[in-house]
Amino acid sequence: MINIQVSERFKKSYRKLPEKIKQRAKERETVFRAGPFDPSIKTHKLSGKEAGIWAFWINDSYRIKFIFLPNKEVLFLDIGTHKIYK
């Protein structure tokens, strides 16, 4: 099982989300914990200035950005629409 840490930026962004998206994010986090590369969440590596950072889908519009840490830990960096990539 993966241990998930969250950044302050993630917490701030999460608080601003609509309740429906928060619920969907919790569902997708459960899938992520079971297997971070489950095809249903479309985990992908970012490139360019965000090389080394990963993201997975909450739905067609929302993503969670994260990095892998040692010892089966992950740090969620941000959550939101494609604006989080800028």
- Residue 83, pLDDT score: 82
Number of structural domains found in the chain = 1
Q: pTM of the entire structure? A: 0.92
Which structural domain, as residue segments, surrounds residue 36?
A: 3-85
Q: What are the structure tokens assigned to 30, written together?
A: 């459960």
Domain harbouring 60, CATH code:
3.30.2310.20
63 and 82 Cβ atoms separated by less than 8 Å: yes
For each successive 10 residues of the chain (86 residues), what is the average pLDDT? 93 97 97 95 94 95 96 95 81
DSSP state at residue 20? H
- Residue 85, pLDDT score: 75
Q: What are the structure tokens assigned to 62, written together?
A: 């929302």
